[in-house]
Amino acid sequence: MLEQSDHPIYLDHAATMPLLPIVKQQMQEALLADYGNASSLHQRGHMAHQIVEAARSQIARLINADPAEIIFTSGGSESNNTVMETFRDRKVAVSAIEHPSVLESAKARASQVTILPVDAEGRVSPADISPDVDLVSVMLANNEIGTLEPLAAIAKHCKKHNIFVHTDATQAFGKIKIDVRTLGVDYMTLSAHKIGGPIGVGVLYVKQGSPYHPLILGGHQENRRRAGTTNIIGIAGFGAAAAWCWDHWSCRKWAGVAKLRNELKQRILQEIPYCTCNTPAEHSLPHILNLSFAAAEGESIQLYLSEQGIYVGTGSACAAGDLRPSHVIMATKHDAEIAHNSIRFALGLDTTEADIERVMQVLPPIIARLRDMSTIKLGEKDVSI
Amino acid sequence: MSQSENTPHTSIIAQNCEKVNTKITSGASPSTSWVYSDLVKEHFLNPCNFLMGDEAQFACDAIGVVGNPVCGDQMKMFLVIKDGKISDVRWKTYGCASAIAATSALSELIKGKTLDEALTVGPETITAYLGGLPEHKVHCSVLGHEALAAAIANYRKKP
Ligand SMILES: Cc1ncc(COP(=O)(O)O)c(C=O)c1O
Ligand code: FES
């Protein structure tokens, strides 16, 4: 029935993407070149400086920013924390489905945090934003269910009331076209490892003239905006990944992944009864598919799939370190069981038809087995598609 | 009185339970790809004694259920009791890998025991038998013990 796969199928690209070959190559080159401290004035320092500035430009052009508006950080989490540090003791509104690095850093620093509700698809409505907040933070795309937020409309609403706007674009970056000018945002978070760059390096875009307060003090680096000796190898990798996205029209490639994602969705909904789709039909990233399988707990599904060489994510409390169900599914579906039973497939550019076929060979018997073991009887609760 | 002899379910014990039980000596060997011990993995992938299909079809003398699907875990124990001993046991579990493994392990540990003996099989016994559980997963083994205790309490309440 269940056969061991010949090659593993990685469907967790929203957690992290494998390094692109060109990224590995350029990071190796940077490693082998005896670079200096990017701040040093001698020749080696200058070499390092050039690597960093090239990367800055490569990332800036992908979002239509000026290189001077790009600040390198240690990742998406630091970028999000930096925005909240800037708005310490101010009034902040964040969506209910933000990444914890937005939610928790806002709660730790702001004088008042308003949680913006989302609809069943995870979308924020600009009308819910109160005019008296100082900052609104709504992600461009959600990492668990893939929802695309109406950011341009949100920013337009905020500008009317002189509210600053931050968007965590960690998941959307490289997948959909992003233009900070037409979006009208003041701050944007990016992370290298979600586009095939290395883990541990990110960017905060800060629009010229927007308020800014560094999170990490004690050095003149990044124009006094982020202290710490520059992470040259990481930044070289981030630059290479951004250049790859630009050169290969990555957004077009990712848009093509939607076909396979939709096929997977259709087949699961047709071949496995009692499933709920948590990813919006429209307004979603092309590669994310989040589904819940009634009566089958997510960590168990995930580990049975892992045993078959298929790697996915889950929103189940059992798989979370803090044993809390996904706040994203709770905010959209308001149902703990749907959260516990959720599985996230995040396809990659190299996912094939054959991979989808293998998932469809392996997944239905796993769900059937877990349902057979489960205390929950199917159909006892109304599960709608 | 046991009613189980004639049910079709007496033959559905997973094939490799004995193999699992011969491995308990050294407990877990660290596995690089799993957060759980090898024995947890064994019991999760090939659980023993779970009640396949419709539970109404399984004739038993006592049932205990604990947990809540809203919290992410629920366990149900079905005991066949003969001459004061647990002659057969089945279970259903909704929950994570350690919940499934813990119930499977418990079902093996209590078979053939008197009710009082079975009650001494606590969470520590189950966890030790499985070669340890991650700290935040120990509660899953507590649930198994509670389901068993509930089943036995229900049995003893019977007139
Ligand atoms: C939406 C979102 N924001 C922020 C982060 C954090 O990024 P990083 O891992 O670079 O700190 C992630 C990824 O984990 C994410 O998905
Ligand atoms: S059943 Fe949820 S953590 Fe074990």
Question: Domains plus CATH for chain A?
Answer: 9-18+249-373 (3.90.1150.10), 21-247 (3.40.640.10)
The letter for the amino acid at A273 is P
Contacts of residue A374 in chain B, CB cutoff 8 Å?
92-94
pTM of the model: 0.91
Q: Please indicate if any CB of chain A lies within 8 Å of the CB of B71.
A: yes
CA distance A106 to A257: 34
To the nearest whole angstrom, how far is the Cα of A341 from the nearest Cα of chain B?
Answer: 9
The DSSP call for residue A204 is: E
Q: Please indicate if any CB of chain A lies within 8 Å of the CB of B93.
A: yes
C-beta of A303 in contact with ligand 2 (< 6 A) = no
A286-298 mean pLDDT: 97
Residue A35: pLDDT band (50, 70, 90) is confident
Using one digit for the tens of pLDDT, what is the confidence trace for B31-81? 344 578 889 999 999 999 999 888 888 999 999 999 988 888 899 999 999
Q: Which of A297, A306, A307 sits opposite B72 (nearest CB)?
A: A297
Cβ A47 vs Cβ A378: under 8 Å? no
- Return the residue matching tokens 């049995």: B155
Q: Which of B44, B45, B72 sits opposite A317 (nearest CB)?
A: B72
Do the Cβ atoms of A317 and B71 come within 8 Å? yes
Question: What is the distance in angstroms between the CA of the first residue and the CA of the last residue of chain A?
Answer: 28
Residue A38: pLDDT band (50, 70, 90) is confident
Cβ A234 vs Cβ A200: under 8 Å? yes
C-alpha distances (whole Å) from A305 to each of A186, A277, A332, B5, B29 are 41, 19, 26, 36, 22
Cβ A168 vs Cβ A102: under 8 Å? yes
Residue B17: pLDDT band (50, 70, 90) is low
E-strand ranges in chain A read: 9-10, 70-73, 91-95, 112-116, 135-137, 164-168, 187-191, 202-206, 275-277, 288-293, 310-311, 313-314, 342-346
Do the Cβ atoms of A323 and B136 come within 8 Å? yes
CA distance A322 to A336: 15
Closest CA to A181 of A161, A203, A197, A159: A159
Instruction: Please count the residues of chain B.
Output: 159
- How confident is the model at residue A317, as a pLDDT? 85
Domains assigned to chain B:
3-13+21-157 (3.90.1010.10)
Active site residue A318: yes
Token pair in block for residue A169: 């674009």
Using one digit for the tens of pLDDT, what is the confidence trace for A170-221? 999 999 999 999 999 999 999 999 999 999 999 999 999 999 999 999 999 9
Using one digit for the tens of pLDDT, what is the confidence trace for A326-379? 999 999 999 999 999 999 999 999 999 999 999 999 999 999 999 999 999 887
Residue A121 has pLDDT above 90, yes or no: yes
CA distance B98 to A103: 30
Rounded to the nearest 10°, the torsion over CA A136, A140, A143, A145 is 100
Active site residue B71: yes
To the nearest whole angstrom, how far is the Cα of B156 from the nearest Cα of chain A?
Answer: 23
Ligand 2 centre and the CA of B59: distance in Å?
A: 28
Using one digit for the tens of pLDDT, what is the confidence trace for A56-79? 999 999 999 999 999 999 999 999
Closest CA to A133 of A87, A101, A100: A87
Do the Cβ atoms of A299 and B100 come within 8 Å? no
The DSSP call for residue A35 is: -
Residues 6+ apart with CB under 8 A from B159: none
C-alpha distances (whole Å) from A226 to each of A79, A217, B128 are 10, 7, 49
Residue B14: pLDDT band (50, 70, 90) is very low
C-beta of B101 in contact with ligand 2 (< 6 A) = no
C-beta of B98 in contact with ligand 2 (< 6 A) = yes
Q: Is A223 exposed, middle or buried (0-12, 13-18, 19+ CB in 10 A)?
A: exposed
Here the ipTM equals 0.86
C-alpha distances (whole Å) from B11 to each of B8, B17, B50 are 7, 13, 11
- Return the residue matching tokens 């390092």: A48
| Nearest-10 crossing angle of helices A353-373, A298-307 | 130
C-beta of B53 in contact with ligand 2 (< 6 A) = no
